[in-house]
Structure 1
């Protein structure tokens, strides 16, 4: 059977069981007595709207994420409509780092909530609606209101900020994060359009980074001008994405949730853990085994994402010790990550992967993880070199080096990101049974964001004395002095060892490669 059916001419190659009588949706799949009709080019028929909501969501998320650390430590404390306003959370660099990591951790735990709700109760479509309307939009609104001096109290309202940044927003983000990518993939026929599913995930990751690029370019600049306006943009952006998503509702393939399958899965796992019983040989047990296999496979992306987590924390602290170029500061350097992801995605999707396919060359999943981790290792090496340059420049006359050098670290992370994380998304989708795609996506996202940030928080808590102390007067040169007097270089070397050993070498081991390839190839379906 062909695996990339996208034209009327190819319909003659298909058996009648895959053909419908609908000219707009000529492909057919019958599952559990229900007929589902698919378009020849789902990307433009329905999946495009799903990619667009991902774009608007990433624009909203990264507008806050890329400026969060500096917002928390007071870098934008005077960027208000009212002159001479000093309004901020005023956290130390270490406190701001841990706050940001906690927000990210919650963001990547929440997908389990979304996955369970979608797979067993509401389905992907209504799950996305619940996540946006009940959590995400209210969270963005609370965060925006906190930035207005005096609106939620005479002093900066940390309680409201925690509700928004550590509660509603990360839960909303995570809730829909495990659903949007899966819902988009489900718009493609699971038998005769599998090649398009792989292309969809490449496009999905490129769209993520287009939203990130726009946010990374505009947000740091706008934040220095007016933080109130900057933090209202995410709320407006998410409203736009929600409207686009709802407007395509009649075109979506909406498969119903399978409550029985979810509860059976949870019951089997519970018995296995509580009673130490082996799984019985049955179709349900096979599905559970496949779901659990997502854990060890996606665990292999954790070392790369430990480095990825530094882009919103330690790289920003390093950038604050460097010389900004007007309003182009450390937060703006994340633009290089987005640019790198977009360029790498185009090169991989349009040239490298097609060339390998034509020559019959298969690039194992773990090799993608390893190559991505090589770039992450180089990003840490770049950070170590920059660290040395900052200290030498300061010690030779209290000078600062340009913050643009930090762009190299971000660009290298972006090159690895497209390989490692997009491969993680695809592997989780292929391995998981059809009724638990949302949970599988949640597992992947947990390994991508929550676990790496848990590890980072533990390391930072243990070596907090290595981080720069917050100076009484936060002038650029005082921030550089605090950085030079810190021991943060040691933290970079810890990161280097983790990503080199567990990100590169472990993924290249033949037993690890063979294990993952067998798990993926033995997956029974990809729906």
Structure 2
């Protein structure tokens, strides 16, 4: 019971900070004068998350193996305390731009949804039409609702990402993990992803994006979604090729380092798609609904993980567990290649949807600009 309570605290804490920290960070920049910096911020924001994943994914297991369980968690606790101290110190020094409290936007949006279904119309909820909400808030809510199909485009790619701890891990079990005389744990390959995210983020921000901006070729939001989803398909294609190579050779003879291209492809896709989805949720949502849009974006990622688990379970006849005691027998009836084909097809469908949604995105973007220029109260600078 205590373990379940602790997991609940982690869920509440993560949900609270994840939907707000990126919004607060982006609010430190002017929405018009610092447009390019906002893209840079979300690129580095996502890179910083992965930098933490690198430290946690490498240091914590070492502490757990070399010292004990308690020490590994005390290290994480110390990092949390240090981050909190730095954050509070910044507030004490009046370094932050802070928005005024405006009540529970989540509750208000939920009420709008309920009343809209009850009255079969969003417009009828306006005070000018005898509704219960201010006209401006309903207009903001309409912009927010139009964002939902765009944010849902992250689902196919995030379903691919979920395989780093399932199909890719099982694939690593069947490979030669000997690295300079050390048998590397299969799960350690997962760290290639955050390392690649940090490196590629710097390359994009310092080289590719400035070059594209100079030539007025910076890809739009949905084009970046499209590129990210295609990179997810490329990662699966790399995994499929590795799977066929494993099937064509004796077990434990193909080097685990052949998995690097699939992890790097996913990392590049994350930068193009996931960091861009954070940017969309912030820049396109009305000011008082930015945190709500960020939370919904994270919800779609959670939905993707749930769908991935459901698909993995449905495909379980193709995906038997790998048994180290009877490795040859566990390969009988194994068809991870079929599973990869399905996910590649899903990714390609997602990529096509990104392109088909471009006209819709242009309308959403135009509506967002209009709302942001319609006299919304400015953010208070303290």
TM-score (norm 1): 0.63
Q: Which residue of 2 aligns with 1:256?
A: 100
How many pairs were matched up?
Answer: 357
Offset at residue 495 of structure 1 (A): 1.0
Higher relative contact order, structure no. (Cα contacts within 8 Å, ≥ 6 residues apart) = 2
Offset at residue 314 of structure 1 (A): 1.9
Distance in structure 2 (CA, Å) of the matches to 1:255 and 1:384: 48
Distance in structure 1 (CA, Å) of the matches to 2:104 and 2:53: 38
Q: Which residue of 1 aligns with 2:155?
A: 302
Q: Which residue of 2 aligns with 1:177?
A: 18
Q: Which residue of 2 aligns with 1:495?
A: 343
1:40-439 residue pairs with structure 2 within 5 A?
159-165=1-7, 167-221=8-62, 224-225=65-66, 228=69, 229-250=71-92, 251=94, 252-259=96-103, 263-280=107-124, 282-325=135-178, 326=182, 328-394=184-250, 398-439=251-292
Compared with structure 1, are the counterparts of its residues 404 and 351 closer, same or farther at alpha carbon in structure 2 (3 Å cutoff)?
A: same
Distance in structure 2 (CA, Å) of the matches to 1:380 and 1:265: 38
Distance in structure 1 (CA, Å) of the matches to 2:328 and 2:26: 47
Q: Is the 8 A contact 1:224 1:327 kept in 2?
A: no
Q: Is the 8 A contact 1:220 1:331 kept in 2?
A: no
Offset at residue 231 of structure 1 (A): 4.3
2:359 corresponds to 1:506: no
Offset at residue 265 of structure 1 (A): 3.4
Q: Which residue of 2 aligns with 1:28?
A: none
Distance in structure 1 (CA, Å) of the matches to 2:64 and 2:177: 14
Q: Is the 8 A contact 1:294 1:443 kept in 2?
A: no
Specify which of 305, 309, 313 is matched with residue 457 of structure 1. Answer: 309
1:6-25 residue pairs with structure 2 within 5 A?
none
Specify which of 432, 441, 454 is matched with residue 294 of structure 2. Answer: 441
Q: Which residue of 2 aligns with 1:517?
A: 362
**Unpaired runs of 5+ in structure 2?**
127-134, 374-378
TM-score (norm 2): 0.85
- Match of 2:203, SS state, is helix
Distance in structure 2 (CA, Å) of the matches to 1:181 and 1:451: 20
Distance in structure 2 (CA, Å) of the matches to 1:174 and 1:253: 22
- Match of 1:401, SS state, is coil
Q: Tell me how large the CA RMSD over aligned residues is.
A: 2.5
